[in-house]
Amino acid sequence: MGQTSTKRINIYFVTIVITLGGLLFGYDTGVINGTQFYFSKYFELTGWLKGFIVSSALLGALLGAASAGIISKAIGRKKSLIIAAIFFAISAWGSGLPEMLPESMTLMVFFRILGGIAIGMASMNAPMYIAEISPAENRGTLVTYYQMAVVIGFFVVFLVTYFIGNGLSEQQNIDYGWRYMFWSELVPALAFLFLLFMVPKSPRWLMIKGKEEEAKNVLVAIHGQETADREFIEIKESIDKEGSVEKVSIFKKSLFPIVIIGTVLSILQQFTGINAVLYYGADIFEQALGFGKEDILLQQILLATVNLLFTFIAMFTVDKLGRKPLLIIGGVGMLVGFLIMGFTLYMSDYSQVNSAGLPTISSAEGIICLVGILLFIGSFAMSMGPIVWVLLSEIFPNSIRSTAMAIAVAAQWLANYFVSQTFPIVVESDANKLIMDGGTWNNSLPYFIFSAFIIFIIFFTWKWIPETKGKTLEEMEAIFNKGKS
């Protein structure tokens, strides 16, 4: 590989641009929480319709993730992200358009599903792209930028929707304020679209497509000549060993276990209960913990802040401590947090009544439960949140990475939808009712169910997840094939 005069590319700039896909993931998912209170009144929605509109983006994300592998393999990671950026922009614009017409709710669902498709495509392609351009020694840190961007997206959209809503009367928010909240997403969506034209294509995808000279130039531009020479040889050997990529099946004996491990890990991220807390946090704080409406805003700020701060911990330790230790440490923390909450609720007598007239626990017990939730959120943010994305972007070989990532991410969105739909059912079940009302679990059942899954996560990580710190993507196949951890 000869010397080139290729202009150098700053890998941190490229990473930040790509992680805007993660920010839009968080922003688009979070904007519904700030708007649904108002558009529900505007459209006079029933509870079922409200739930369907809110969750429709999850169905779109499932569709986007399932199709992202085929699209990514055909046109590449960069062009796939450009399509996602266009969908984000159209969804943001269209979600604020519907007037009070019979077909307007159908339009709302259509644009929310379109935004969900963009989320699904971005959630697969962004971390994969970052992993494919990153050097082994700091790949984990760079991929965690993606999860950091997701968390920042949640945090920013919360502040934006609060700022918009606080500047208008309640009636103004019902009439048109929620539209401004949706349209605010146009700013990051258009910025993402514009900046994507300034980043290179994935060198690994280029080599899979036989564009070796272009791949060489990208590698040199990002890593310099010496590192690029080494990575080029490793990528080429990996692809040559697999033979024709188009003929490689995920069901191949040496590959299928990797797909299963990655998919199960992806599903388990949702069975921690993270989105039950994020989506239904206000209900939990008011109905189970006894906080009044005036306190809920503060609790959400605390959740968002802890989520953000502990994601930084993952970012700065993932390439030092490794992936596996962080997953286990975080798993223990999540378990302790939910057990604190579960046992506190189970042993409470619910002798008080809150401002909504609901039986509630004492203020001291409410604080203990809040500590448990914050411990859970912080532990998730430093482990299962970012580390799952790091591992999914690392463990799949070049030949099946697009397909395997699509399967794992689609399974994650299906699990997200399942947990989001079943959590309210479990909360309202007869078994979970207060003991004074003939129930058994005294509002604690969901948290003990999630605790059981977290125990399995810790075991699964210890038994089947390999340590991938500092290894090139091409070395991952050897790790799995030899059965080493």
401-427 and 445-464 helices, crossing angle to 10°: 160
Domains 1-199 and 250-485 share a fold: yes
| pTM, 2 dp | 0.79
**What whole-number distance in Å separates Cα of residue 458 and Cα of residue 471?**
23
Per-residue pLDDT reduced to its tens digit, 114-166: 999 999 999 889 998 998 888 877 888 888 898 889 989 988 887 888 788 87
Nearest to 124 by CA among 185, 69, 75, 45: 69
Q: Which of 451, 483, 448 is nearest to 464 (CA)?
A: 483
**Whats the size of the chain, residue-wise?**
485
- pLDDT band (50, 70, 90) for residue 245: very low
Alpha carbons 260 and 442: distance in angstroms, whole number: 37
Task: Say which residue, 396 or 326, is predicted with more confidence.
Answer: 326
What number is the average pLDDT over the span 53-78? Answer: 88
Whether the predicted pLDDT of 349 surpasses 60: yes
Contact 417, 66 (CB under 8 A): no
Q: How far apart are CA 301 and CA 417, in angstroms?
A: 24
Least confident residue range of 311-325, 345-359, 389-403: 345-359
pLDDT at 484: 43
Per DSSP, 353 falls in state: E
**Which stretch of 21-30, 37-46, 54-63, 260-269 has the lowest confidence by average pLDDT?**
37-46
DSSP string computed for 181-214: HHHTTHHHHHHHHHHHTTSPPPHHHHHHTT-HHH
Structure-model confidence comparison of residues 69 and 372, the more confident one: 372
Whether residue 351 contacts residue 290, with contact meaning beta carbons closer than 8 Å, is answered with: no
Per-residue tokens: 414: 């299906």
Tokens 């038994």: give the residue.
463
Domain at 250-485: CATH architecture = Up-down Bundle (1.20)
The kind and range of the H/E element at 271 are none
- Count Cβ atoms below 10 Å from residue 243 Cβ, excluding itself: 10
* Domain boundaries, given as residue ranges, for the chain: 1-199, 203-247, 250-485
* pLDDT exceeds cutoff 80 at 290: no
pLDDT value at residue 265 = 97
Q: What is the pLDDT of residue 480?
A: 60
pLDDT score recorded for residue 356: 60
CA 399 to chain centre: 24
For position 227, what pLDDT does the model report? 80
pLDDT of residue 107: 85
pLDDT at 1 over 70: no
| Partners of residue 360 on adjacent β-strands | 352
* pLDDT of the residue at 461: 96
Tell me the average pLDDT across 332-353.
Answer: 92
> Is the pLDDT assigned to residue 83 strictly greater than 90?
yes
Poorest-pLDDT segment among 371-375, 389-393, 472-476: 472-476
197 has a pLDDT exceeding 90: yes
Q: What is the pLDDT of residues 441-478, one digit of tens each?
A: 999 999 999 999 999 999 999 999 988 787 776 676 66
pLDDT level of residue 371 (50, 70, 90 thresholds): very high
**Residue 64 corresponds to which tokens in the numbers above?**
């986007």
| Model confidence pLDDT, tens digit, residues 87-105 | 999 999 998 886 655 457 7
1-199 homologous superfamily: MFS general substrate transporter like domains (1.20.1250.20)
Asked if pLDDT for residue 275 goes beyond 90, the answer is no
Query: For residue 289, what are the contacts with CB-CB under 8 A and spacing of at least 6?
Result: 360, 361, 366, 369, 370
C-alpha span between 66 and 456 (Å, rounded): 26
